């Protein structure tokens, strides 16, 4: 299933050590998908 820009929504990415910033972005109504990148 396509996500992000393929569906007309931006992806807003945060590294794992900025999870709190990602949470804040989601709470503040960031347009698009808020993603936290977890290293393999």
Structure tokens at 19: 């999870």
Query: What is the pLDDT at residue 31?
Result: 87
Count of structural domains, the chain:
1
Query: What is the pLDDT at residue 37?
Result: 95
Establish if 1 belongs to a structural domain. Answer: no
Query: What is the pLDDT at residue 2?
Result: 66
Q: What are φ and ψ of residue 34, in 5° steps?
A: -100, 120
Q: Which domain holds residue 20?
A: 8-37
Establish if 3 belongs to a structural domain. Answer: no
Tell me the C-alpha distance between 6 and 28, whole Å. Answer: 23
Structure tokens at 14: 């945060």
Tell me the C-alpha distance between 32 and 40, whole Å. Answer: 24
Closest C-alpha to 4, from 36, 33, 29, 35: 33
pLDDT tens digit string along 2-40? 666 667 788 899 999 999 999 999 999 998 889 999 999
Contact (Cβ atoms closer than 8 angstroms) between residue 34 and residue 25: yes
């Amino acid at each position: 299933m396509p996500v992000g820009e393929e569906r007309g929504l931006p992806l807003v990415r945060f590294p794992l050590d900025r999870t709190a910033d990602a949470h804040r972005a989601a709470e503040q109504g960031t347009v698009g998908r808020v993603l936290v990148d977890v290293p393999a």
